[in-house]
């Protein structure tokens, strides 16, 4: 808060502290002394945005440079957006209160496809032209990063540049480059050309796409001029252990979704689940050393005062030093009331023992496992290395340790799925329930403490770019409905609860996850007709989306429900996560045979190509003896 | 604030002098007076408490923990303030297991509070009531924009009418639906003055566990006449010290109103 006056009407919008800035550790600088103004944008509401680690990492890296001021900007909830329009307040940076339209760069993070309409919503609130081609010299550069950039094509019309991969190093290169060009008075076009010269940076307007008249698939994507790379490969940090990690992040006053310190203990995952985009695009796996983790923990507790730390990663129980790490941190902080937690649990007894250590002083809430599929065959198809006996083991040890409530996550619509696989979900839930009940009575628990509940949650499979299933169709909405009906019939009984989601949101997600540039028109039309906050039930309006598709003459099932062949030019063919296409194909073919692929942490190199492409290697703290 | 410097008036008069939580030699109570300003006024009471707990953890202050599965710090706050109001009277008590030197401790806390909050005063309370037992009154200064429906004189007349009545029932909307409350019993004293387009109201209201009138409820009759609060500020919290009103540090209030908005 650089002494700016906050309007009284803020009390009339919901949760005004979303819009005031001025949190502990929020960075204040003198705007007159800055060479570059940067906005880190998250296209969702404050409580979601502030739970995101990536923004905090980049915020600290940029603000450590004395000549750049990085501020945060998030999507105002619609009540606030209306009020801002009424008061003619444009979208502003939370730190300075200055309009972001006057900044040099706005960097959006693309975490999920259903946030795309909010990018247009925010650009509009900021008063910035939506289309990159319409922006003038005075407008900021709009760039994007995050997992959805492995296919950013539906957003190509709206983005000036896209960063593939890890942002820690490239963001500094971008800032330095833009500072130099700004001082030299370079025009926008020159800035874009210079950005396109940075490894990992993609400038969509420098590429031409053409579609085949016959089947509407892509004919080619290619650079429009010499000197522009034909293929862009993601960036990774040179040395993960030494990579900057926030030690002084802003601490919200209001309760947010992840209201704790998220300490990233490892990046990447070696499990190789074939549906999982994160598992493919964040390769190779790299661990932080226990010494470094402890040092970061200390620094974060001192700077934030949070009472909870989560040891975060895609699969934290896989960290080679996780047991010592958990024991040491509990010993060090437990007495002062600080709790340590894991974000998700692998379905095995080892993970449950870990969770027990962490929650031993606390009340046992519920435990979540993700078998993903009901039968062993289908789990082998997706390469989810969970066996029924592992899950039962996990449930039995958890029950003995005092847990009574279990959540099982499944996906429906997976490749090769049959009715048998779906019925097996019901059977698995019943087995878990009966094993847990047996363990409860063996422990002699009585009354309320003997009641076991199993919640089955079934989400809809969304095939993603740069995964082995990128060629596979998503089940049509009607099929998903039938499958949900079937599940409602088989996942039932006392102690069993079933949760599902509307298939329409997963369908829209699938359309945009593998869409091409033609979807830009649909997105703009949908936003103009009122679409925003599509990830929120209260705002998602499928009818508006269907109308937008129809008015643009685009069939969304072409993107969501069509089987592609391996020869097809995919919209993201020119964008690489480092994993070879040949590896993705071989994984897809192995899926067809329900053949497993080993974990590269324990087995030999699988030849996914990431280490060769990026000239790197996995980094594991110590040799592993547990599976 | 007009104060009487009476060292022996701490915590006040003939009331019970020892709280159940503060037995001799084990615990020490540090009472703080905080200010909420700028964006701090958009921090809710609950969020303020959490922000303060985090400050305690950052500074590793020797605050006692509660027993049980989820231990938390033994800190208690005075009555809540409406969202959007500023305040120079947010009091809290910290139950400490040690007794660090007072001025260094206060200096450290003052330096590390999150922006939007600042420390006005603080002191060890060796024998006194808990904040919730002590506090019975709150003083507010409200700047009301005079609307188009009533003149300043009419608003002042309305205020006088409230004070002269035996009872002044109004309907207010609560989470549980409509409720009728008697404004008169919650207003101890009130005073009005016109300043340009604004009506400045100083209110001395019932606060605390026995009887409590929220300042926004006290303003309802005025708001219904088109007035709109531009600014709501809590200036002080008071309890009894013998026959007198005193602040939670025991400073006796000699005359009312004497609203000073700190830092402005």
> What is the DSSP track for A256-315?
-TT-SEEEE-EES-SS--TT-HHHHHTPSPEEPPHHHHHHHHHHHHHHH--SEEEEESSS
> Best residue in A5, A21, A24, A94 to probe B by mutation, most B CBs within 10 Å?
A24
Q: B148-198: per-residue pLDDT in tens?
A: 888 999 999 999 999 999 999 998 888 888 889 999 999 999 998 898 889
- Asked if residue A300 is part of any domain, the answer here is no
Are the Cβ atoms of B47 and A306 closer than 8 angstroms? Answer: no
Within a domain: A353? no
User: Helix A519-528 vs helix A116-126: angle between axes, to the nearest 10 degrees?
Assistant: 60
Instruction: From residue A521, give the alpha-carbon distance in Å to each of A206, A515, A549.
Output: 19, 12, 9
Q: Does B54 touch chain A (CB under 8 A)?
A: yes
Instruction: Please judge whether B54 and A24 are an interchain contact, meaning their C-beta atoms are less than 8 angstroms apart.
Output: yes
Q: Considering only CB atoms, which chain A residues are within 8 Å of B39?
A: 1, 6, 17, 20-22
Longest dimension (CA), chain B: 61
Q: Judging by beta carbons within 10 Å of its beta carbon (0-12, 13-18, 19+), is residue A557 exposed, middle or buried?
A: middle
Q: Which range is least confidently modeled, A334-348, B3-17, B227-241?
A: B3-17
Percent residues over pLDDT 90 in chain B: 72
Residue A587 sits at φ, ψ, to 5 deg, of: -65, -40
Residue A615 in domain: no
B83 touches chain A (CB under 8 A): yes
- Report helix, strand or coil for B233: strand
Q: Tens of pLDDT along A416-461?
A: 999 999 999 999 999 999 999 999 988 888 888 889 999 999 999 9
Q: Give CA–CA dist A406/A424, Å, rounded.
A: 17
CA distance B249 to B56: 21
What would the pLDDT profile of A451-508 be if each residue is shown by its tens digit? Answer: 999 999 999 999 999 999 999 999 999 999 999 999 999 999 999 999 999 999 999 9
CA dihedral of A59, A60, A64, A67, whole degrees rounded to 10: 0
CATH at residue A73: 3.40.50.280
**A355/A123: higher pLDDT:** A123
Domains B18-133 and B135-246 are alike in CATH topology:
yes
The residue extents of the domains of chain B are 18-133, 135-246
The dotted CATH code for B18-133 is 3.30.70.580
Query: Which one of B41, B42, B70 makes the best mutation probe of the A interface by having the most chain A beta carbons within 10 Å?
Result: B42
Contact A412, A476 (CB under 8 A): no
HEC profile for A361-418? CCCCCCEEEEEECCCHHHHHHCCCCCCHHHHHHHHHHHHHCCCCEEEEEEEECCCCCC
Domain of residue A149, residue span: 8-211
Number of domains present in the structure of chain A: 2
Q: State the Cα–Cα distance between residues A483 and A476, nearest whole angstrom.
A: 11
Contact predicate B111/B189, CB 8 Å: no
Residue A68 lies in a domain: yes
Task: Please indicate whether, in this complex, the C-beta atoms of B114 and A303 are within 8 angstroms of each other.
Answer: no
Span B21-40, average pLDDT? 83
Contacts of A362 in chain B (CB under 8 A): 69-70
| C-beta of residue B182 within 8 angstroms of C-beta of residue B172 | no
Report residue A433 as tokens: 């329930």
CATH of domain B135-246: 3.30.70.3190
Q: Among B38, B43, B60, whose Cβ lies nearest the Cβ of A1?
A: B38
Q: How far apart are CA A537 and CA A502, in angstroms?
A: 9
Mean pLDDT of chain A: 94
Is any Cβ of chain B less than 8 angstroms from the Cβ of A301? yes
Q: Cβ atoms within 10 A of the Cβ of B81, count?
A: 25
Which residue, A188, A211, A234, sits at the end of a domain?
A: A211
**Residue range A575-593, pLDDT digits in tens:** 999 999 999 999 999 999 9
Least confident of A93-102, A604-613, A616-625, B170-179: A616-625
| pLDDT (0 to 100) of residue B261 | 46
Number of H helices, E strands in chain B: 7, 11
pTM here is 0.93
What ipTM, to 2 d.p.? 0.88
**Residue A377, domain CATH:** 3.30.750.200
A185 touches chain B (CB under 8 A): no
């Amino acid at each position: 808060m650089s002494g700016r006056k906050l309007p009284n009407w803020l009390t009339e919008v919901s949760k005004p502290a979303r819009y005031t800035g001025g949190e502990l550790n929020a960075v204040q600088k003198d705007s007159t002394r800055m060479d570059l103004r940067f906005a880190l944008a998250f296209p969702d509401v404050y409580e979601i945005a502030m739970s995101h680690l990536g923004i905090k990492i980049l915020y600290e890296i940029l603000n450590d440079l004395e000549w750049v001021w990085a501020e945060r900007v998030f999507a105002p909830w619609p009540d606030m957006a209306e009020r801002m329009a009424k008061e003619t307040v444009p979208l502003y940076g939370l730190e300075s209160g200055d309009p972001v339209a006057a900044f040099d760069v706005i960097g959006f993070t693309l975490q999920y496809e259903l946030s795309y309409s909010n990018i247009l919503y925010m650009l509009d609130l900021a008063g910035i032209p939506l289309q990159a081609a319409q922006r003038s010299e005075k407008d900021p550069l709009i760039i994007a990063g995050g997992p959805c950039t492995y296919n950013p094509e539906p957003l190509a019309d709206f983005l000036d540049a896209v960063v593939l991969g890890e942002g820690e190093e490239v963001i500094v290169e971008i800032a330095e480059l833009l500072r130099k060009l700004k001082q030299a008075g370079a025009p926008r076009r020159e800035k874009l050309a210079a950005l396109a010269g940075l490894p990992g940076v993609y400038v969509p307007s420098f590429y031409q796409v053409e579609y085949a008249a016959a089947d509407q698939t892509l004919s080619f994507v290619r650079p429009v001029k010499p000197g522009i790379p034909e293929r862009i490969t993601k960036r990774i940090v040179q040395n993960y252990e030494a990579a900057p990690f926030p030690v002084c992040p802003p601490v919200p006053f209001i309760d947010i979704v992840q209201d704790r310190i998220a300490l990233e203990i490892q990046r990447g995952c070696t499990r190789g689940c074939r549906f999982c985009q994160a598992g493919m695009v964040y390769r190779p796996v790299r661990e932080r050393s226990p010494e470094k983790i402890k040092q970061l923990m200390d620094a974060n507790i001192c700077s934030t005062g949070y009472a909870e730390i989560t040891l975060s990663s895609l699969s934290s129980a896989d960290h080679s030093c996780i047991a010592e790490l958990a024991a040491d941190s509990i010993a060090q902080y437990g007495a002062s009331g600080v709790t340590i937690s894991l974000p998700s649990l692998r379905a095995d007894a080892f993970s449950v023992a870990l969770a027990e250590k962490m929650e031993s002083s606390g009340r046992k809430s519920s435990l979540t496992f993700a078998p993903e599929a009901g039968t062993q065959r289908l789990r082998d198809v997706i390469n989810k290395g969970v066996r029924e006996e592992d899950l039962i083991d996990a449930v039995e040890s958890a029950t003995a340790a005092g847990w009574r409530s279990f959540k099982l996550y499944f996906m429906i619509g997976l490749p090769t799925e049959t009715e048998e696989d779906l019925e097996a979900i019901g059977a698995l839930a019943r087995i878990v329930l009966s094993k847990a009940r047996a363990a409860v009575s063996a422990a002699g628990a009585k009354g309320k403490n003997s009641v076991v509940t199993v919640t089955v949650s079934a989400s809809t499979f969304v095939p993603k770019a740069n995964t082995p299933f990128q060629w596979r169709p998503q089940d049509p909405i009607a099929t998903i409905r039938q499958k949900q009906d079937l599940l409602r019939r088989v996942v039932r009984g006392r102690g069993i609860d079933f949760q599902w989601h509307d298939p329409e949101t997963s369908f829209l997600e699938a359309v945009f996850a593998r869409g091409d540039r033609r979807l830009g028109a649909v997105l703009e039309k949908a936003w103009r007709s009122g679409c925003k906050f599509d990830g929120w039930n209260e705002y998602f309006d499928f009818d508006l989306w269907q109308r937008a598709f129809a008015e643009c003459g685009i069939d969304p099932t072409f993107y969501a429900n069509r089987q592609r062949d391996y020869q097809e030019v995919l919209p993201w063919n020119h964008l690489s996560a480092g994993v070879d296409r040949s590896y993705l194909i071989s994984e897809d073919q192995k899926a067809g045979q329900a053949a497993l692929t080993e974990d590269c942490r324990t087995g030999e190199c699988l030849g996914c190509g990431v280490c060769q492409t990026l000239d790197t290697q996995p980094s594991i703290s110590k040799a592993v003896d547990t599976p | 604030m007009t104060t009487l410097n009476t060292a022996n008036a701490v915590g006040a008069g003939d009331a019970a002098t020892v709280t159940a939580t503060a037995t001799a030699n084990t615990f020490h109570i540090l009472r703080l007076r905080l200010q909420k300003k700028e964006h701090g006024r958009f921090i809710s009471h609950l969020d303020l408490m959490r922000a303060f707990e985090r400050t305690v953890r950052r500074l590793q202050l020797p605050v006692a923990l509660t027993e049980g599965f989820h231990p938390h710090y033994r800190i208690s706050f005075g009555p809540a303030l409406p969202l959007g109001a500023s305040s120079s009277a947010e009091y809290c008590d910290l139950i400490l297991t040690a007794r660090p030197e007072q001025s260094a401790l206060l200096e450290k806390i003052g330096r590390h509070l999150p922006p939007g909050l600042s420390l006005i005063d603080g002191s060890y309370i060796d024998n006194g009531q808990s904040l919730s037992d002590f506090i019975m009154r709150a003083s507010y200064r409200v700047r009301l924009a005079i609307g188009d429906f009533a003149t300043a004189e009419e608003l002042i007349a309305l205020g006088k009418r409230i004070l002269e009545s035996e009872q002044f029932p109004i309907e207010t909307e609560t989470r549980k639906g409509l409720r009728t409350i008697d404004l008169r019993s919650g207003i101890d004293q009130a005073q009005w003055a016109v300043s340009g387009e604004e009506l400045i109201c100083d209110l001395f209201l019932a606060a605390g566990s026995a009887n409590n009138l929220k300042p926004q409820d006290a303003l309802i009759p005025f708001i219904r006449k088109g007035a709109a609060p531009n600014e709501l500020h809590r200036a002080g919290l008071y309890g009894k010290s013998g026959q007198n009103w005193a602040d939670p540090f025991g400073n006796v209030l000699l005359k009312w109103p004497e609203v000073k908005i700190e830092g402005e």
